[in-house]
Homo-oligomer: A and B are copies of this chain.
């Protein structure tokens, strides 16, 4: 199975309102709720691709119970979230029906106690044994040490499990130094880590900082990969219109899927770009359009060079 870690899980709520005006009172016309946090999104896409997936991280309170209920309603996802005393946070996306704009309200994460963090580390260690790959995704809630991902990466490497890191800021900086197998930053995260706005140069710099391979997601510019085996660029066939929410998580799912299927790099990148593009095209944020995905798979342009042996 593939293991995804989401330390800062969320209940993602979307409200539709006719027109959002500060200081006014609004009737919400439609409410939707779904499990949130990068690793849970990645797991949902992996399960839809037919992989066995286990999710871990934290869950608490009434909001956590809703997250768990919806999570296990999806076939193929096993819930191994660790219970905590404080409630799982909510995020609220308010969609303005007139302009189409989204206004985001993100609750702070629950504070994790030292005993809860310790219980998580024990659970994670046990989950590594049957894992074929692990993804560490997203921000850290209060109470979790900023160097948390470095420790989780070292544990995965000691267990011989390939580990992907997708985070930002100081947790990313500390994590890279622990030598993850794969880093999946976007352009901003990569620039913040390395100080360079040239993605190709920055990807090489991130490798020097410790990452074995780096796949940078450049939005409509596709993916740029720098690995010991070579360097590639994968580009979607045409610019598509839609909702980019979840496209980055679909890239992570595609990369993990290609990794455990032992695909060569160009095929992993094609899978990731096709999934991300099919996610942008899907009517529901974070879902992917399967027919579009299968059609796109054959049409991703991958260029690059293999490192001389």
Contacts and interface: CB of A to CB of B under 8 A. Distances in A.
A23 B105 contact: no
Contacts of A101: 22-23
Nearest to A96: B22
Contact of A105 (B15, B62, B63, B65): B15
Interface of A: 15, 17, 20-29, 31, 61-63, 65-66, 92, 94, 96, 99, 101-108
Contacts of A27: 106, 108
Given A62-B63, A63-B62, A92-B92, A107 B20 contact: no
Given A28-B108, A108-B28, A23 B63 contact: no
A17 B108 CA distance: 11
Nearest to A25: B104
Of all A-B residue pairs in the complex, the 10 with the closest CB atoms, nearest first, are: A62-B62, A25-B104, A23-B101, A28-B107, A62-B66, A20-B22, A22-B103, A26-B105, A31-B107, A28-B105
A21 B21 CA distance: 9
Given A17-B105, A20-B22, 18 more contacts: A21-B103, A22-B96, A23-B96, A23-B101, A24-B104, A26-B105, A27-B106, A27-B108, A28-B105, A28-B106, A28-B107, A28-B108, A29-B108, A61-B66, A62-B62, A62-B65, A62-B66, A94-B105
